[in-house]
Amino acid sequence: MENFTMHNPTSLHFGRNVTDDLGKTIAQYGKKILLVYGKGSIKKNGIYDQVMEQLKQIGVEVFEYSGIKPNPITEDVDAAAEIGKKHNVDVVLAVGGGSVIDSAKIIALTIPCEHSAWRIMINLAKPEKAIPLVSVLTLAATGTEMNPFAVLQNVQTHKKIGYGNPLIYPKHSFLDPAFTFSVSREYTAYGIVDLIAHALENYFGKGDASLSDRFVFAIVREAMDYGPALLDDLQDYDLRARIMYAATSALNGLTAYGRVSGDWGVHDLGHILSLLFDSPHGATLSVVYPAWLKLMKDRTPERISELGKAVFNVNGADRTILALEGFFKSLGSPVRMEGLGIPQNKKKEIIDMMVQNKVNGAHHKIEKEDIETVVGLMFAKAQTE
Ligand code: NZQ
Ligand code: ZN
């Protein structure tokens, strides 16, 4: 097992009506708030009104930036940071899913410095401070509510990349499972895929950490036991809560401690599909993961089999891959390019973009020939048992 430091500075407030304390929590950071949200779901489901009521009670000045898109872009981050600078805001409040919170993280870093969001993302600028960030999560998937990562897209340079910096842990994150009642069946399924993928990226990373492996198995089992039931009843509070907690736990450090690193090759490949076709993040992962495992099955057969035994009760790498693919399919998440609406004639463009972006895993290396193989597998005819 590798050495590690366990420190997660985010206070996570989880459960029914936790946002009743949002106002008093925000009040300790100042009087001027930059509220960041997406394309309007929070106005339809009433969350916006609840948040505004909290802010009204503490008498703060609120500046808004809305319209953050799924697969968020740096232009929005820079534009929001301008508003923050102009009004000298004290705190950023993100209300939304991963795209909104990730954007808010980089907004919080960009406001107190003279650099653009992208210069920060590609490490050309090294900000020394961030203004405090508070989040209200409305979609269970990414784990961003309790981690130091953000993923943004640069449409000019054709890149979608992740960035990590301890300064961007949210100070507080509020998770009321009832706030996810209005998430569509589709996005609920993509969130379940995403949380499983995060646990697996860590599992297939480098280093031997048996307890972290067991956390991975437990999280995947939780998703398998309660995910399908949730898709049958999107308004079930208890099921929403179980999936929400699993999603946070998959990427808040728990599955990573004691390893050198996670792998993240599957995410790297998936980001290219989002970049080119604006595909939802979780949907790209249910297509990429089975293909990546097929590529890796002769390179790390024992590891894949161990996963299969622990979570699907099957023997061997082939059966494990089939079981994972079958589970994704049962959720209604695509497992081939066709399901993402990506036609065969895009194959070359995809491969070229993956090569250009040097997609790779931190542990299991991917060569150019591997990219061709893995993309071929994503276009292959779906297997049936
Ligand atoms: O635009 P709004 O109105 O917010 O609507 C969103 C969006 O259309 C909607 N939605 C969110 N909460 C809702 C809701 N609709 C109804 N009711 C609610 N309560 O759902 C759609 C998708 O939202 P988005 O935020 O894009 O989804 P998600 O949370 O899956 O975030 C995806 C982004 O996170 C990045 C991904 O790459 C992608 O850009 N990731 C971030 C990570 C991190 N920071 O640690 C790790 C992940 O691997 C991932 O890469
Ligand atoms: Zn992800």
Q: Are 307 and 345 in a shared domain?
A: yes
Which of 130, 148, 180 corresponds to the end of one domain?
180
Which of 139, 154, 180 corresponds to the end of one domain?
180
Cβ neighbours of 321 (radius 10 Å): 24
Q: Are 59 and 129 in a shared domain?
A: yes
What pTM, to 2 d.p., does this model score?
Answer: 0.98
Which residue has the least CA distance to atom 42 on ligand 1?
142
State how far the Cα of 13 lies from the Cα of 145, in Å rounded to an integer. 11
pLDDT in tens, the chain (385 residues): 999 999 999 999 999 999 999 999 999 999 999 999 999 999 999 999 999 999 999 999 999 999 999 999 999 999 999 999 999 999 999 999 999 999 999 999 999 999 999 999 999 999 999 999 999 999 999 999 999 999 999 999 999 999 999 999 999 999 999 999 999 999 999 999 999 999 999 999 999 999 999 999 999 999 999 999 999 999 999 999 999 999 999 999 999 999 999 999 999 999 999 999 999 999 999 999 999 999 999 999 999 999 999 999 999 999 999 999 999 999 999 999 999 999 999 999 999 999 999 999 999 999 999 999 999 999 998 765 4
Q: Are 20 and 96 in a shared domain?
A: yes
Quick one: which ligand is closest to 281's CA?
1
Residues having CB within 6 Å of any atom of ligand 1 = 38-41, 45, 70-72, 96-100, 102, 138-139, 141-144, 147, 149-151, 179-180, 182-183, 187, 191, 194, 251, 267, 281-282
Give a yes or no: residue 4 inside a domain.
no
The closest alpha carbon to 267, from 284, 254, 247, belongs to: 284
Q: Are 173 and 232 in a shared domain?
A: no
Q: Specify the 3-state DSSP secondary structure of 92.
A: strand
The closest alpha carbon to 286, from 235, 245, 257, 326, belongs to: 326
C-alpha 269 to ligand 2 mean position (Å): 11
User: How many structural domains comprise the chain?
Assistant: 2
Give a yes or no: residue 232 inside a domain.
yes
* 101: CATH: 3.40.50.1970
Q: Are 153 and 123 in a shared domain?
A: yes
C-alpha 60 to ligand 2 mean position (Å): 34
Q: What's the CA dihedral at 65, 69, 73, 79 to 10 degrees? A: -20
Q: Are 245 and 345 in a shared domain?
A: yes
Residue 97 φ then ψ, to 5°: -90, -160
Q: Domain of 47?
A: 11-180
pLDDT digits (tens, 9 = 90+) for 342-381: 999 999 999 999 999 999 999 999 999 999 999 999 999 8
Q: Are 334 and 191 in a shared domain?
A: yes
Which residue has the least CA distance to atom 14 on ligand 1?
183
Q: Are 233 and 171 in a shared domain?
A: no
Q: Specify the 3-state DSSP secondary structure of 64.
A: strand
State how far the Cα of 384 lies from the Cα of 316, in Å rounded to an integer. 17
Q: Please give the number of the atom of ligand 1 that sits closest to the Cα of 37.
A: 4
Q: Please give the number of the atom of ligand 1 that sits closest to the Cα of 140.
A: 29
Among 10, 19, 39, 41, the mutation site with the greatest number of ligand 1 atoms within 8 A of its Cβ is 41
Among 64, 74, 142, 174, the mutation site with the greatest number of ligand 1 atoms within 8 A of its Cβ is 142
Give a yes or no: residue 5 inside a domain.
no
Q: Are 218 and 350 in a shared domain?
A: yes
Which of 180, 208, 226 corresponds to the end of one domain?
180
C-alpha 146 to ligand 2 mean position (Å): 14
Q: Are 255 and 362 in a shared domain?
A: yes
Give a yes or no: residue 1 inside a domain.
no
Which residue has the least CA distance to atom 39 on ligand 1?
71
Q: Are 105 and 227 in a shared domain?
A: no
Around ion ligand 2, residues with a beta carbon closer than 5 Å are 194
Give a yes or no: residue 268 inside a domain.
yes
pLDDT digits (tens, 9 = 90+) for 274-291: 999 999 999 999 999 999
* 252: CATH: 1.20.1090.10
Q: Are 44 and 72 in a shared domain?
A: yes
Give a yes or no: residue 23 inside a domain.
yes
Three-state SS for 139-178 is: CCCCCHHHCCEEEEEECCCCEEEEEECHHHCCCEEEECHH
Q: Please give the number of the atom of ligand 1 that sits closest to the Cα of 45.
A: 17
Give a yes or no: residue 3 inside a domain.
no
Q: What is the DSSP letter of 53?
A: H
pLDDT digits (tens, 9 = 90+) for 214-242: 999 999 999 999 999 999 999 999 999 99
Give a yes or no: residue 189 inside a domain.
yes
Cβ neighbours of 331 (radius 10 Å): 25
Residue 295 φ then ψ, to 5°: -65, -35
State how far the Cα of 227 lies from the Cα of 330, in Å rounded to an integer. 10
Contacts of residues 109-116 at CB distance under 8 Å and 24 or more positions apart, as own/partner, are 109/165, 109/167, 109/168, 110/77, 110/78, 110/81, 110/84, 111/34, 111/81, 111/84, 111/85, 116/74, 116/78
